[in-house]
């Protein structure tokens, strides 16, 4: 079974909103209830990622459900919300050290998951090329995992 589920969609009609065109719905209910939330909140678009979660870090709760958005600021940048959305399976062994480093650089965490660490790490490397940002972030991760990222 799973303890939570979620979906993030890139909605091109949002343009350059604070969430960069990303919309998200998450739930601790069943996928059928998430689908109703998606319909009600008009989470629509042509590209997306979805996830069902079995907790390894962080309790079963909506704020720990995937997908996670990057949010926070880099060293000299104003607050950014949702520049990347990320889902992950596996365990990041060095997530605590990475979290501390990202917090020192101004990133704000809303979950207890190692997944949110990866989202912020990808964001910290993002300079317009998502593939290169993911490559740089993955080079810093220790563990066994799989990720999917959209922006």
Domain residues for 15? 4-150
**Number of domains within the chain:** 1
pLDDT for 57: 65
Global pTM reads 0.84
Over residues 87-111, the pLDDT tens digits come to 999 999 999 999 999 999 999 898 8
* Cα-to-chain-centroid distance, residue 46: 18
Over residues 119-139, the pLDDT tens digits come to 999 999 999 899 999 999 999
> Which stretches of 28-123 are assigned E, i.e. beta strand?
47-53, 68-72, 80-92
CATH code of the domain in which 128 resides? 3.60.20.10
């Amino acid at each position: 079974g799973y303890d939570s589920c979620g979906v993030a969609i890139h909605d091109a009609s949002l343009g350059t909103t604070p969430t960069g065109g990303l919309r998200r719905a998450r739930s601790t209910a069943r996928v059928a209830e998430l689908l109703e939330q998606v319909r009600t909140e008009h989470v629509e678009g042509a590209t997306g990622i979805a996830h069902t979660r079995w907790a390894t870090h962080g309790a079963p709760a909506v704020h720990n459900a995937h997908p996670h958005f990057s949010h926070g600021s880099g060293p000299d940048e104003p607050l950014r919300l949702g520049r990347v959305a990320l889902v992950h399976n596996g365990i990041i062994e060095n997530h605590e050290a990475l979290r501390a480093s990202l917090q020192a650089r101004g990133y704000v965490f809303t979950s207890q998951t190692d997944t949110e660490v990866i989202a912020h790490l990808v964001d910290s490397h993002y300079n317009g090329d998502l593939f290169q940002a993911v490559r740089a972030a993955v080079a810093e991760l220790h563990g066994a995992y799989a990720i999917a990222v959209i922006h």
